[in-house]
Amino acid sequence: MQNHIQILEKDFLNCDDIITLLSLNKEQANDLFKKSEQIKQKYVGNKVYYRGLVEMSNICKKDCYYCGIRRSNKNVSRYELGDKQIIDAVQYCYNNNFGSIVLQGGERTDKVFVDRVANLLREIKKLSNGELGVTLSLGEQTLETYKMWKEAGAHRYLMRIEESNRELYQKLHPDNDLHSFDERLAALKRIQDAGYQTGTGVMIGLPFQTVEHLADDLIFLREFNIDMVGMGPYIEHEDTPLFQYKDQLWPLEGRLFMSFKMYAILRIMMKDINIAATTALQTIDPIGRERVIRFAANVIMPNVTPGVVRKNYLLYENKPCVDEGADDCLDCLEKRLKLVNAEVGFNEWGDSKHFIERTKG
């Protein structure tokens, strides 16, 4: 068997290589992080792009077993931001020279919602003279809806596969049409077909998940030829069915370390994609996002959701910054990013280089 140093010299990582790398101890993993940092600098440079995250609503028609805002959770106070609240949050991003924003929320497919999103997109484009890039993260929709939202101004879409292994996916979701693995996959394909820069990702450290599953997840991302990835540790939420397995999980520190290895291996496998440093990392380690930006990630999504509703968008427990206004976080963020050798790409879209290559004539 090859050792990890030999594996890190290879052009193409196979499943066994990935499993070996995912199994590295702390000391060995430093070689992995060093390699991915070199690749990151070479292929995407030291710029990091801001996408202001607006959590539009926690109303969701789905019932994913891991998620704190799942439909059946009666302990959540449901909210929907008004147009003005959304536009104000977007304006805040524009005024602070963010290149892009993300509209994220629970899944809804009714006409009122679909039309409203289209109108919001047009307004966002208007208020920023077309300058703000827009990513959507609103779950599974029809091709028609994806196309309509794209025409209205969105150009990136993020929808995690959550877990690429069918059997495990099924354990994490109710067994019905609304939560079909095939449909999730087909929706991701529709996003790609509609012409979006397409993002997906997985949760790391889920109940029943093994290192082999995680290796397959990374291979899934490569085979799907994905442009952007958002992935992060699974964090249990008391009001969800999966909470009953909390004693079987890897400790939080272990989930964080495994996430770091996932980020680094992904950067080595997919050199020119955009990788977001996600909020769940910050839940375990206050500077978890900055740490992955040093060696792998090049996108960060500062939360700009109005503070009053933020405490109701708890996908998982101990989500950071729920008591703070957007301003509190932003001031120090840039300084912390400097400490990990990253420079903020203000006013730039920071599109996925992989997408540009993939769609070139």
Binding site for ligand SF4 (CB under 6 A): 60, 62, 64, 67, 69-70, 106-107, 139
**Binder of residue 137, out of ligand SAH, ligand SF4, none (CB less than 5 to 8 A by kind):** ligand SAH
Phi, psi for residue 56 in degrees, rounded to 5? -60, -40
Residues in 191-210 at the binding interface with ligand SAH, rule: CB under 6 A: 203
Shortest Å, Cβ 45 to ligand SAH? 28
Q: Which range in 91-99, 102-110, 123-131, 290-298 contacts ligand SAH by CB under 6 A?
A: 102-110
Q: Which of 57, 100, 104, 192 binds ligand SAH (CB under 6 A)?
A: 104
Cα 219 to Cα 210: distance, rounded to the nearest angstrom: 14
Q: With respect to ligand SAH, which residue has the nearer C-beta, 13 or 226?
A: 226
Which tokens sit at 222? 């490569």
Shortest Å, Cβ 104 to ligand SAH? 5
Shortest Å, Cβ 49 to ligand SF4? 24
Cα 73 to Cα 52: distance, rounded to the nearest angstrom: 27
Which tokens sit at 306? 């109005």
Q: Which of 35, 237, 291, 310 binds ligand SAH (CB under 6 A)?
A: 237
Q: With respect to ligand SAH, which residue has the nearer C-beta, 128 or 282?
A: 282
Phi, psi for residue 20 in degrees, rounded to 5? -60, -45
Q: 304 vs 71, 92, 249, 319, 338, CA distance in Å? A: 24, 8, 31, 14, 21
> What sign has the CA pseudo-torsion 29, 48, 89, 355?
negative
Shortest Å, Cβ 138 to ligand SAH? 6
Q: Does 67 bind ligand SAH (CB under 6 A)?
A: yes
Q: With respect to ligand SF4, which residue has the nearer C-beta, 149 or 260?
A: 149
Residues in 309-338 at the binding interface with ligand SAH, rule: CB under 6 A: 315-316
Q: Are strands 156-158 and 100-105 parallel, antiparallel or unpaired?
A: unpaired
Cα 233 to Cα 205: distance, rounded to the nearest angstrom: 6
Cα 263 to Cα 231: distance, rounded to the nearest angstrom: 8
Q: Which range in 12-20, 86-94, 100-108, 116-124 contacts ligand SAH by CB under 6 A?
A: 100-108
Q: Does 139 bind ligand SAH (CB under 6 A)?
A: yes
User: 277, 344 in Cβ contact below 8 A?
Assistant: no
Cα 149 to Cα 158: distance, rounded to the nearest angstrom: 13
Phi, psi for residue 114 in degrees, rounded to 5? -60, -45
Q: Which of 50, 169, 234, 313 binds ligand SAH (CB under 6 A)?
A: 234
Cα 18 to Cα 349: distance, rounded to the nearest angstrom: 31
Shortest Å, Cβ 239 to ligand SAH? 10
**Binder of residue 280, out of ligand SF4, ligand SAH, none (CB less than 5 to 8 A by kind):** ligand SAH
Q: What are residue 50's DSSP bridge partners?
A: 300
Cα 110 to Cα 129: distance, rounded to the nearest angstrom: 29
Shortest Å, Cβ 229 to ligand SF4? 17
Q: Which of 20, 22, 71, 162 binds ligand SAH (CB under 6 A)?
A: 162
Shortest Å, Cβ 242 to ligand SAH? 7
Shortest Å, Cβ 41 to ligand SF4? 34
Q: What are residue 204's DSSP bridge partners?
A: 233
Query: Interface residues with ligand SAH (CB under 6 A)?
Result: 60, 66-67, 104, 106-107, 137, 139, 159-160, 162, 203, 234-235, 237, 280, 315-316
